[in-house]
Amino acid sequence: MPLLSLYINNKAGGLIYHRDFASHAAELDVNEHLRLASTFNGLALILKELSPAKRSSKMELLEADSFVLQSFDTLTGLKFFVTADPDSKKLDAVLREVYELYSDFVLKNPFYETDMPIHCERFDEKLIKLAEDYQRR
């Protein structure tokens, strides 16, 4: 059960990282990915406002016939979200692992500017490995 795509949004809701893991991931161009990511950011926030329960979190899970989307907000305001085939399990754990990788291989790179798009090769490598491991689980 492979992961499809991973997105990371910054505090302002702008896309700073995107990667596809499977050949059947949505085929979109760069602008469409940007639009999609910031739309999801707004949508998750609106759903939080719609919640009847006070202090509800933002939207965390979206399920459809052909895919699921799991989202994870950090206390620092970042949003990590991943799409995967339906019935994929433990996607929240995957996102927590991605957060750890981000804190190691992105933030510890002194030349990475926070809130800017991520171009870190070692981060890419670790993510690809994580996605491969997930598929074997």
Q: Give the closest residue to 100 by CA, choosing from 135, 119, 120, 74.
A: 74
| Binding test (CB under 8 A) with another protein, winner from 47, 62, 96, 135 | 96
Rounded Cα distance, 6 and 126, in Å: 13
Instruction: Tell me, residue by residue from 19 to 58, as one string, x for binding to another protein by CB under 8 A and - for no binding.
Output: --------------------------x---x---------
Q: What is residue 28's three-state secondary structure?
A: coil
Q: Applying CB under 8 A, does 119 fall inside the site for another protein?
A: no
Instruction: Establish if 90 lies at the interface with another protein (CB under 8 A).
Output: no
C-beta closer to another protein: residue 38 or 74: 74
Listed in sequence order, the residues at least 6 apart from 23 whose beta carbon sits closer than 8 Å to its beta carbon are: none
CB 101 within 8 A of CB 122: no
- Among 43, 51, 114, 133, the residue binding another protein under the rule CB under 8 A is 114
116 binds another protein (CB under 8 A): no
